[in-house]
Amino acid sequence: MTVIPQGRIRRAALLSACCALAVTGLTGCSSEDPDAGTNGVGKLTAPQIQAKTLKAAESADAVQLSGSVATSGRTYRIDMKLKSDGAMGSVTAEGATFRLLRVDEQLFLMADAGFWSDGDAKADEEAAAKLDGKYVKVPRNDPSYKKFIGFTEMDVLLEGLLTLHGKVETDGRHEQSGVRTVRISGDQGSGGTLDVSLEGTPYPLRLVRGGGAGTLTFSSWGKGFALEEPKKDETVDYGQQLPTS
């Protein structure tokens, strides 16, 4: 007769118990590592995650930013491709949409006739019609240059947006566009939340700003794109100071 050691009996019983628990959905005996196959950021503290994702964003060559930003009583809908030497995309505010193109320091704006005309005079409407769908070069000394250039500056936008207020803590594992993320939040969400990629470089992927100040997604990190000034037949000289309203 074969005698089975008591240690084997106990191990077999423990294994059976674990299997039974797994069947009922209690997987406490599982040895699966939730960070397996990730970049390991999920193991860090919230401040460490925040530092790593900000460093990753700062070192990137390009990014696409989409979503809404509420500031100074206005809400802007943004869809911009950004890199250090330029940007291209669109901004919508108060029902008006305009396109922005920056090549180095040259800034161009394209909008429909309604954007350029206040509707007070026929002559004004006729002039606005000539600008409809054309790129207008914004003079660097024009007040509008300072107003619009901020939408095209990658470093400025990221520095101003990627901010959480209050005590920063981790807020579980999530997913953004099929990518696994770890979420960090400020003041339990009231100070904003930021989803950070658990795959590859720990780039920020989704930001919910505190106080209902908008939600933004970040994609195409490090993916460059071509920029060139519009052709002459696509450009019109406004001939006077651009509207600032």
Summary count for the chain: helices (H), strands (E):
6, 12
Give the pLDDT score at 22. Answer: 38
The pLDDT tens digits for 125-145 are 666 777 788 899 998 888 889
Take residue 46 and report the two structure tokens written for it.
């919230």
Q: What is the mean pLDDT of the chain?
A: 84
180: β partners: 175
What's the CA gap between 135 and 234, in Å, rounded? 6
Give the pLDDT score at 52. Answer: 97
3 found inside a domain? no
Give the pLDDT score at 166. Answer: 96
243 found inside a domain? no
pLDDT at 205 over 60: yes
Give the pLDDT score at 17. Answer: 42
Percentage of residues in the chain having pLDDT higher than 90 = 62
Give the pLDDT score at 71. Answer: 87
Which domain does 57 fall in, by range? 41-236
**Average pLDDT of span 77-100:** 94
In the chain, alpha helices (H) = 6-23, 46-59, 113-116, 122-131, 143-149, 154-161
204 found inside a domain? yes
Q: How far from the centroid of its chain's Cα atoms is residue 238's Cα?
A: 33
18 found inside a domain? no
Give the pLDDT score at 26. Answer: 39
pLDDT at 21 over 60: no
137: β partners: 108
Category of 150 on φ-ψ map: left (φ > 0), alpha (ψ -120 to 50) or beta: alpha
224 found inside a domain? yes
9 found inside a domain? no
Q: Which helix (H) or strand (E) holds 76?
A: strand 74-83
Give the pLDDT score at 242. Answer: 58
168 found inside a domain? yes
CATH number at residue 191: 2.50.20.20
The pLDDT tens digits for 141-169 are 888 898 899 999 999 999 999 999 999 99
Q: Which residue has the tokens 């209050």?
A: 166
53 found inside a domain? yes
Category of 73 on φ-ψ map: left (φ > 0), alpha (ψ -120 to 50) or beta: left
pLDDT at 49 over 90: yes
pTM over 0.85: no
Give the pLDDT score at 24. Answer: 39
DSSP state of 137: E
How many domains are contained in the chain?
1
